[in-house]
Structure formats: C-alpha cells, structure tokens
A and B are shown apart, each in its own frame.
Chain A
Amino acid sequence: MRRIVALALLLFPVAGLPAGNGDYVNLPGGSFRSALKYEDRKGDTRIAPFALMRKPVTNAEFLAFVQRHPQWRRDRVAKVFAEPRYLAHWTGPGALGADALPQQPVVQVSWFAAQAYCEAQGARLPTWDEWEYAAAADETRRDARRDPAWRERILRWYSRPSTQALPRAGLQGPNAYGVQDLHGLVWEWTDDFSALLVAADNRNQGDADNAKFCGAGALSMDDRDNYAVLMRVAMLSSLDAEDTTLNLGFRCARSTR
C-alpha cells in the first residue's frame, strides 16, 4: 500500500511537494504592532496563522522550477513578466554555474516569477505584514525589536557591500519561530509589495516619485528607529513587478487553518 502511495505521488507530482521545497514552519499569528503607520489603521494588526518557508528559495530549487515550467526560463520568459537581468547570473537558461551555487538563495527574480514559483507549490508570497511579523523575532524572542543590540546586528548586514558573494541559505540560526535568514542574507519580495505606497496617495499631485520614499517614508513609520524595516519598505516601494535585483529573492507562505 505504501508503495502505491509513493507511486501515486510520483504520478501526480503536483499533489506532493517537490523535494526540498516543502520546508514550511507554522507561525501562530496574533496581534502585532507594525513599524509602519497607516492613517486608516489604528493600533495592532491581526495576523492570521500561516506557514512560512524556513529558508529563502535557493538556486537549485528555482532551477528545478524552471525545468518543470520552461516558460520561466530566462530565454523564454515573457518580457512583460521579467526584465532582461532576470536570472542573468546563471551560466545558462538551464544551468547555474559558478556565480549561482545550488544552496545560495536565488536572486534576480521578478515578482511575477516569484509568484509563479509559489503558485506551483500551492502557496503564495507572504504579505508584508506576515513578513514583518516573522522578522520581528530573534533567536529567543518573538519580538526583539526593542533590543538595540539586535537592531545593531541587523543594520551591520545592510552596511555590507552587496558585491560580496551571497552565503548559502540556512547558515544562520533559526529565529524563535524556527524561520531562518529573514535578516542578513537577501531582501525578499512580498505578495503586496505594490501596496507599500509610502507617499500617502496621489490626491496631492506633483513629484510623486520623489515623495514616494525618503522623507515621506520616515513620516509613515511608527517606529522611526527601525531602520531595517524602513529600508525594506523603501526598497520594495521602489520596485516594479518585473524588476530584479542582485540581492532580492523570496520565500513562499501558506495560509493555515
């Protein structure tokens, strides 16, 4: 019987999770105070229980995905879904090479591509709220954000030049939820990255691009000392869905009941 089940999983790969991709951690959710201040949202945010990938998606995992879904190979992807730099660091459309080691997190992926990867898993990208909630934890505390030493440690990573080769995914210790690498490895897409409208809205017309972050960004932060979050928000709010960058990757999430 067990063999039949195994066989069935082989026959219906969509029903089972592709090897190495099924590593999710359950997060309980609950009441969370975001560092972002929204005019319309007073007080805490409710985070529903969800599951989040323990580690960011790696090159090896993303290679397996483009092999199964060749329309996401860099030589076949629709230009509307990914800019020319998409997976440009891979040695070929179906090969990683020296600049993209299998265990390094995949970077230079567009939001559309990250979405498609998660959809193929029966998952989705985490929302910003979910990401911020998970990333508020350190190794022992679910909310370490008040600790200046922890903040300092995160900020040190941001000051590191992005030209250095990326470490492998999963080298850092898990946080209190069991999630790794939320800080200190790569930036990550969120499902609702394009909801991070830092510049209020465009009822006040004018140079919106200029006002979108920087000064306006600081004004919308409830916690102005939380530079790590501020930088993430500024970066995500500046991106279009087809954009890719050298240190922007992703991980998937699932709603749990």
Chain B
Amino acid sequence: MKRLLCVLVAFALCAGALAAPKPTPPTSVPSESVYRLSVKLTDQHGKRFDWSQRRGKPQLVSMFYTSCRYICPLIVDSGKAVEKQLTPEEQERLGILLISMDPARDTPAALRSVATKRKLDPARWTLASPAQADVRKIAGVLGIRYRALADGEFNHTSALVLLDGEGRILARTEQMGAKVDPEFMAQVRRAVEQPESREPTRVRFTSSTNAGSGSLLPK
C-alpha cells in the first residue's frame, strides 16, 4: 500500500515536471501578438517550426489552400503585388507566410508545387500547413472565416494581414488582386522602413508568454 502510494506520488511529480511549461523565449511575446497562439507549421520544404520563429521580421500573412481554383491564386497575386512595390532591400525585410486551411491535403509536396508554379522566391515566401486542430485558432487570431465544402473546396474570407516583428497586427486588407490597397501598402512600407521591428504606437505590454504548445493551455 505504502509502496503503491510512493509510486503514485513519484509518478505525479514526474507528470508535473512533464506538464511544466516549456522555457519561454528570451524576451516575452507581447500580449497583442498572434504568436501568443503557439502553433507548429510544416513548410513547403517539410521543415517543421513554431510560427513564433517568424519574430524579428514583419510578416505578410494570409490563409489559403492549394487546390483552390478561384480566390487563392488571387491571394498569391496580392502578395506578389505588394512585393513588387518594394525595393530589393525592403523585400528582404518582409516575410510572406501563406498558411493552409486544408492541412489534410496540403502536404509539403503540394505546397512546393504551388511555390514552384507561381515562381515564389523561397527566401521570402513560406507556404505552410498547421495541424488540423489549429486551423480555426489561426483563423481566429487573423480574423479569417472559412467553411469546408462537401466537394473539398472552402468557402472563406480572404485577407492580407500585416504583422510587425513581434506578431502584432498592424494592418489588414481584404482587397485582393494585382491592385494593392494604397493604405495597406503605406503600412507595409512603414513596417519595412527599419531592419529591426518597429515599435508600434500602441502601449507595449510585457507579461509572460502563453507557454502552450499547439494548445490554448500549457501542456
């Protein structure tokens, strides 16, 4: 009885240690940052990474899926149109991240095929899939709505979301296509002005990070 108790206690302690939050990044992620949502993405090269690794560089983010025939090519066009208006130096200071809402089918190979077909520079463009369970959470922080249709297509809103180097939303536009919303473009320019992430005008908030991994709760 006593031994069983000891084992149970030891196991509980061990479980407690396992459940301890992962070490937080050196500087804490701001409270407004989308990177508070800890999600792992797998990109077109099969590399798995936490999206908070995009910190340090402003990002142009959108959601799409590779088998999409109508609006998604337009989303890529929109990203390209933004890129085209930037100087090579400015381009280097902007990351472009397209996140799939269809991870079941958007394997690295499927993502790579779009990247190749659309001639997307892998130095700047990342096409990536999250875990199925994280799709709606990512859509939640980005303000994107979608529904899977019976035929495998998705009904969805399209947006380009501009994040600062810390993952705070600076601007968004739902104007898709080769003509970029000028107000949005001005925000992109301002974001890439300096190599370091710009300090937004909003109040900086520094509480500890949400240490969850692929979850809204610490594991």
Contacts and interface: CB of A to CB of B under 8 A. Distances in A.
Interface of A: 4, 7-8, 11-12, 38-41, 69, 71, 76, 78-81, 111-112, 115-116, 119-120, 191-192, 194-197, 200-203, 205, 208, 237, 240-242
Contacts of A12: 12, 15
B155 A115 contact: no
B30 to A, nearest CB: 8
B181 interface: no
Interface in B79-138: 136-137
A40 B151 contact: yes
Interface of B: 1, 4-5, 8-9, 11-12, 15, 31-34, 36-37, 70-71, 136-137, 139-141, 143-151, 153, 155-158, 174-176, 205, 207, 210, 215-218
A79 B140 contact: no
A109 to B, nearest CB: 12
A173 B38 CA distance: 41
Given A40-B151, A79-B32, A197-B147, A242 B8 contact: no
B210 A71 contact: yes
B216 A200 contact: no
A241 B155 contact: no
A203 B70 contact: yes
Contacts of B31: 78-80
Contact of B137 (A76, A112, A120, A201): A112
B140 A111 contact: yes
Contacts of A11: 8-9, 11-12
B118 to A, nearest CB: 20
